């Protein structure tokens, strides 16, 4: 047996030893495919390096060969927790380039859908923060209300996750009575459940101690890093695209922008919670506005843009113009005016921008997505430096990183 005295280690070597830890690419805590190489001193992170691009699908290149209506399916797969938001953002970009003016009813219907998807996005993020701090129940409990949101999508467009919802100029069909009933059901049932969810966390000592003061970023650093959305607002900057550059008639609605103060995990959680309440209020207002349309106005669900909006099937069989437009749209033969347009919307994670350049051909000459996730994820190494590993996990989920959006 070896005697303790026989082992001669250099002075201070154990203190100096660090461990390299791979957090990802397929780690349950990353909730997506990306890697963080952490240099650990015990449980403390000395250095973090992020690697992304594992699910890069070359959307920008693909978009250069696709007519506008086929690009909608690509935008679904950016932030797949709130696909309709991306769809609407893309339609708004096209409408801006093509000069299509949407009727008010379409705007309000879009607002309903966009706010529903914002709720489902924040709902996932906040309940995942719960999961990562050890509270699984909340996640499972609110999941049934995401299901209800998905049922509304299903009623409106036929699909659930990657929705491909709407068209340039409006929706593919009018909202059915069932869709409105489901929206009413959601508005009636969800607030009580969300209140319960909030109480579960805000009165939970473990959760508060895990989130307050961890993963903080100052407003100045956040702006310098190009943060937008809830993560920027948690740091105390009241920048919201819906208010600063209103689109889809957001100027008709009354809502407040919640802001935090310290930009830590708890502030991000609280800002998202409050945004859910604001979204609910916006949906209620929009629902009332939609219900106020009577007679023929209540049947309006798309703009009058025959060159870009697919005609009704019955018309295709009976009318010459409709047949021509049908053919041109389906075959992607419609030439789009040349121009350069930047349109952004308030996505689930922040400013989702579309930079579209057209040279007058049938497809975009160049399309660039400003993906909020990709831009704010670079701050992660700075945020988690000198923190504990367990805090880094919570920070990761409270930043709401969606790999699909990051890698495009």
Query: Which residues of this protein are in contact with another protein, per CB under 8 A?
Result: 52-53, 56, 58, 60-62, 64-67, 96-97, 221, 223-227, 237, 239, 244-245, 331-333, 339-342, 344, 351, 353, 355, 357, 361-363, 365-366, 368, 370, 374-379, 382, 407-408
Give least dist CB 242 to another protein, A.
13
Strands 351-358 and 339-346: antiparallel
Q: Select 273 or 358, whichever has its Cβ closest to another protein.
A: 358
* Nearest alpha carbon to residue 327 among 307, 346, 345: 307
Give least dist CB 240 to another protein, A.
11
Q: How far apart are CA 51 and CA 280, in angstroms?
A: 37
**Residue 106 CB partners (closer than 8 Å, separation 6+):** 169, 170, 171, 300, 301, 302, 303
Give least dist CB 333 to another protein, A.
8
Q: Select 67 or 166, whichever has its Cβ closest to another protein.
A: 67
**In 245-308, where does DSSP find H-type helix?**
265-291
Give least dist CB 62 to another protein, A.
7
Give least dist CB 331 to another protein, A.
6
Q: Select 198 or 240, whichever has its Cβ closest to another protein.
A: 240
Q: Select 43 or 49, whichever has its Cβ closest to another protein.
A: 49
Give least dist CB 90 to another protein, A.
16
57 with 408: CB under 8 angstroms? Answer: yes
Give least dist CB 197 to another protein, A.
32
Q: Select 179 or 379, whichever has its Cβ closest to another protein.
A: 379
**Full DSSP string of 132-194:** HTT-HHHHHHHHHHHHHHHHHHHHHHS-SSS----BTTB-SSPPPHHHHHHHHHHHHHHHHHH
352 with 85: CB under 8 angstroms? Answer: yes
Give least dist CB 227 to another protein, A.
8
Q: How far apart are CA 83 and CA 158, in angstroms?
A: 13
Q: Select 185 or 244, whichever has its Cβ closest to another protein.
A: 244
Q: Select 49 or 209, whichever has its Cβ closest to another protein.
A: 49
Q: Select 231 or 285, whichever has its Cβ closest to another protein.
A: 231
**Residue 257 CB partners (closer than 8 Å, separation 6+):** 233, 238, 240, 243, 278
Q: How far apart are CA 115 and CA 189, in angstroms?
A: 16
Give least dist CB 352 to another protein, A.
11
Give least dist CB 66 to another protein, A.
8
**Full DSSP string of 356-406:** EEE-SSSS-SEEEEE-HHHHHHTTHHHHHTTSBHHHHHHHHHHTT--HHHH
Q: Select 239 or 293, whichever has its Cβ closest to another protein.
A: 239
> Which residue, chain included where needed, has tokens 């409106």?
156
Q: How far apart are CA 382 and CA 384, in angstroms?
A: 6
Distances (CA, A) of 213 to 21, 111, 129, 217, 387: 24, 34, 15, 10, 11
- Count CA atoms within 13 Å of residue 106 on its CB side: 24
**Residue 80 CB partners (closer than 8 Å, separation 6+):** 161, 162, 402, 404
Q: Select 207 or 369, whichever has its Cβ closest to another protein.
A: 369
Give least dist CB 121 to another protein, A.
21
Q: Select 243 or 300, whichever has its Cβ closest to another protein.
A: 243
163 with 88: CB under 8 angstroms? Answer: no
* Token reading at 90: 């893309």
């Amino acid at each position: 047996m070896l005697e303790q005295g026989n082992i001669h280690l250099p002075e201070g070597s154990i203190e100096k030893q660090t461990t390299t830890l791979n957090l990802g690419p397929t780690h349950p805590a990353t909730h997506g495919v990306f890697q963080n190489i952490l240099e650990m001193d015990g449980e403390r992170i000395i250095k973090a390096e992020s690697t992304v691009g594992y699910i890069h699908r070359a959307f920008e290149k693909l978009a250069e060969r696709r007519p506008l209506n086929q690009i909608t399916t690509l935008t679904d797969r950016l932030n797949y927790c709130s696909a309709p938001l991306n769809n609407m953002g893309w339609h708004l970009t096209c409408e801006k380039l093509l000069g299509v003016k949407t009727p008010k009813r379409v705007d309000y219907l879009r607002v309903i859908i966009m706010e529903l998807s914002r709720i489902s996005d924040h709902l996932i993020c906040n309940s995942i923060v719960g999961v990562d701090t050890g509270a699984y129940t909340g996640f499972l409990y609110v999941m049934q209300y995401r299901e209800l949101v998905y049922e509304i999508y299903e009623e409106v467009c036929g699909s659930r996750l990657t929705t491909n919802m709407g068209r340039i100029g409006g929706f593919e069909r009018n909202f059915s009575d069932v869709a409105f009933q489901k929206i009413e059901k959601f508005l009636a049932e969800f607030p009580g459940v969300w209140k319960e969810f909030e109480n579960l966390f805000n009165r939970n000592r473990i959760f508060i101690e895990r989130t307050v003061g961890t993963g903080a970023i100052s407003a100045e650093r956040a702006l310098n890093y190009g943060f937008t959305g809830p993560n920027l607002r948690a740091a105390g900057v009241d920048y919201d695209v819906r208010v600063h550059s209103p689109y889809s008639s957001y100027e008709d609605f009354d809502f407040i922008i919640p802001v935090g103060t310290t930009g830590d995990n708890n502030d991000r959680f609280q800002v998202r919670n409050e945004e859910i309440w604001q979204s609910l209020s916006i949906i209620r207002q929009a629902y009332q506005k939609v219900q106020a349309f009577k007679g023929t106005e209540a049947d309006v669900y798309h703009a009058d843009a025959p060159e870009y909006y697919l005609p009704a099937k019955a018309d295709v069989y009976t009318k010459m113009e409709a047949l021509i437009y049908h053919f041109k749209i389906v075959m992607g033969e419609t030439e789009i005016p040349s121009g350069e347009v930047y349109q952004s919307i308030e996505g689930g994670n922040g400013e989702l921008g579309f930079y579209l350049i057209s040279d007058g051909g049938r497809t975009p000459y160049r399309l660039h997505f400003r993906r909020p996730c990709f831009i704010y994820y670079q701050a992660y190494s700075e945020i988690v430096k000198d923190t504990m590993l367990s805090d880094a996990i919570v920070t990761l989920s409270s930043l709401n990183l969606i790999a699909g959006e990051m890698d495009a």
